[in-house]
Amino acid sequence: MRSARLIRVVPGKCQGHARCAAMAPDIFELDDDGYILPGDIEVAEKDAERAWKGAKSCPERALEIVE
């Protein structure tokens, strides 16, 4: 099982596809235009697998999993 406990948002890479939020809307917060909010995202252990899947779904690789 893959999982993520910390996800780093890479500034300027998000193109607003919102695939991350589609996978886990309670983990990935978007602004009013559909872009990921800046800053690191700390993930609870219970949400780690969904966070990993959401980060990996980004076609722009705007989300980096910090292990």
Candidate CATH numbers 1.10.3720.10, 3.40.50.300, 2.60.40.10, 3.30.70.20; the one for domain 6-66: 3.30.70.20
Q: Say if residues 27 and 54 touch (Cβ distance below 8 Å).
A: yes
Q: What is the value of pTM for the model shown? A: 0.90
Burial class (CB in 10 A: 0-12, 13-18, 19+), 12: exposed
Task: Count other Cβ atoms within 10 Å, centred on residue 18.
Answer: 17
Residue keyed to tokens 């690789």: 61
Extents of the domains making up the chain:
6-66
What pLDDT, in 10s, does the model give residues 23-48?
Answer: 999 999 999 999 999 999 999 999 99
Number of residues that make up the chain: 67
Q: Which amino acid is at 19?
A: R
